[in-house]
Amino acid sequence: MVHAHPRVQPPPRSGTIAPVREPAPGPFGELLGIQLLEREQGFARATIAADRRHLNPHGVVHGAAVYALVDQAMGAAVYSVMDPTESCATLEVSIAYLSPGRPGPMEATVRLVRRTRRIAVLEAEARQGDRLLAKALGTYAIFPVEPPTGESGESSQGENDSGS
């Protein structure tokens, strides 16, 4: 199916969508000013108001700011398909920068491509208005949340069970 706009689209709605788990925004996203705009099952949109703090020495938005926006939105989309007993971590994000960003609002739109038991693959676009800034493909690890440690700081697993 070809869309009039080749933008990343939200997944189709079904009657059996599980409640979406809300991740904490995290101090790094807050530091950059990233805000989550929308999140559904396997989909997320986030924004950043790029200003002079986000610019590189050439006066355009630093690629790391665009990457952070995409990574934050991808993480939000992964959280939407995880159980409360799971967490995730970025394994790899491949990003192609297509146009320079300028001061002003930028938005990342993310769609889950596939989720297996331990891996999620996502695609994203970063835009400033109608201008496509970047396209990205990300892979995230999904793993069980570690049980809390005991009062003495030791893990509930045995002493010889270091995991390495």
Catalogue all structural domains in the chain, each as residue range(s) with its CATH number.
27-144 (3.10.129.10)
Across 11-15, 58-62, 141-145, least confident range: 11-15
Instruction: For residues 40 and 43, give the distance between their C-alpha atoms in angstroms, rounded to a whole number.
Output: 5
Helix (H, G, I), strand (E, B) or coil at 157: coil
DSSP string covering 53-99, please? GGB-TTSSB-HHHHHHHHHHHHHHHHHTT--TTEEEEEEEEEEEE-S
The predicted-structure confidence for 69-105, as pLDDT tens digits, reads as follows 999 999 999 999 999 999 999 999 999 999 999 999 9
Whether the pLDDT of residue 155 is over 90: the answer is no
What distance in Å separates the CA atoms of residue 28 and residue 34, rounded to the nearest whole number? 9
CA 31 to mean position of chain CA atoms: 16
Place of tokens 């394994």: 91
What is the pTM (predicted TM-score) of this model?
0.78
